[in-house]
């Protein structure tokens, strides 16, 4: 009777688990309202997971604000420059090595010795507000490291890596700025509101 009792108990637990899982899983329609449209919370959570905010994946950005071509086939593509309500501008894009040799962004750190902890990075990037005659440098954390992409070493030919840098925001009236990276030509970009 002991073996039969244990087998029955295990079977009962298995059946309970199946019922519980099927009740939780739903048919995929749990995020829909009575009218058949997704609820706003379902749309928001899916958008948050994809990184796009609007439910579309952000892995393939469609907007190109600027494309900067440097020496040895290095190309920087800027996809967004967004001003947030906290007074920062975040520039995002990608770096592609179209050259024939490995690329290390050692010179992109800039000449400032305080930026040494950032290593090969976009720490030397600058936003220039020509109308306001002001330069905005990449922000740093409490350890002196840049709020930007770090570890930009051993980038293989045909490899693409994400790139970002965060700056203090120019005044809200300033929407056109120039983005500069050491050793690369400058590019004019438009700041959008986040």
Q: Output the pLDDT for position 118.
A: 83
pLDDT at position 181: 92
Backbone torsions φ then ψ of 150, nearest 5 degrees: -115, 170
pLDDT at position 190 over 90: yes
Sheet with 176-180, side-by-side order of all strands: 134-137, 126-129, 176-180, 187-190
**Mean pLDDT value of segment 30-52:** 37
Q: Which residue has the higher pLDDT, 73 or 61?
A: 73
pTM of the model: 0.66
Q: Name the more confident of 98 and 25.
A: 98
CA pair distance 84, 107, nearest whole angstrom? 29
pLDDT over threshold 60, residue 160: yes
Where do you find CATH 2.60.40 in the chain?
A: 66-193
Reply yes or no on whether the pLDDT at 109 is more than 80.
yes
> Is a pLDDT exceeding 90 seen at residue 135?
yes
- Nearest alpha-carbon partner for 93 in 176, 165, 44: 165
pLDDT confidence of residue 95 = 95
The token duo for 105 is 């962004």
What's the mean per-residue pLDDT of the chain? 75
pLDDT beyond 70 at 29 = no
Token pair of 160, please?
């693409």
Sign of CA dihedral 170, 141, 75, 135: positive
pLDDT cut 70: percent of the chain above it: 69
> How distant, in Å, are the alpha carbons of 45, 65, 105, 114, 156 from that of 73?
39, 19, 13, 29, 12
CATH architecture of 66-193: Sandwich (2.60)
Q: Quick: pLDDT tens for 136-157.
A: 999 998 888 889 999 999 999 9
Integer angstrom CA distances of residue 98 from 48, 51, 63, 148, 187: 32, 27, 20, 22, 19
Q: Looking at residues 71-76, what average pLDDT do you find?
A: 91
Mean pLDDT of 75-101: 94
């Amino acid at each position: 009777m002991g073996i039969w009792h244990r087998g029955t108990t295990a079977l009962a637990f298995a059946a309970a688990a199946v019922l519980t899982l099927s009740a939780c899983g739903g048919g995929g329609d749990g995020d829909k309202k009575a009218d058949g449209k997704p609820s706003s919370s379902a749309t928001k959570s899916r958008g948050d997971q994809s990184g796009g905010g609007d439910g579309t994946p952000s892995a393939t950005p469609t907007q190109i604000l600027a494309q900067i071509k440097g020496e040895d086939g290095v190309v920087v593509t800027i996809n967004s420059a967004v001003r947030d309500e906290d007074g920062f501008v975040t520039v995002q894009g990608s770096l592609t090595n179209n050259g024939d040799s490995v690329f290390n962004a050692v010179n992109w750190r800039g000449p400032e010795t305080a930026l040494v902890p950032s290593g090969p990075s976009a720490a030397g990037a600058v936003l220039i507000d020509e109308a306001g005659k002001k330069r905005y440098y990449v922000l740093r954390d409490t350890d002196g490291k840049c709020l930007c992409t770090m570890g930009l070493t051993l980038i293989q030919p045909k490899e693409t890596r994400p790139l970002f840098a965060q700056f203090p925001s120019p005044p809200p009236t300033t929407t056109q700025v120039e983005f500069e990276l050491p050793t690369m030509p400058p590019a004019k970009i438009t700041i959008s509101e986040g």
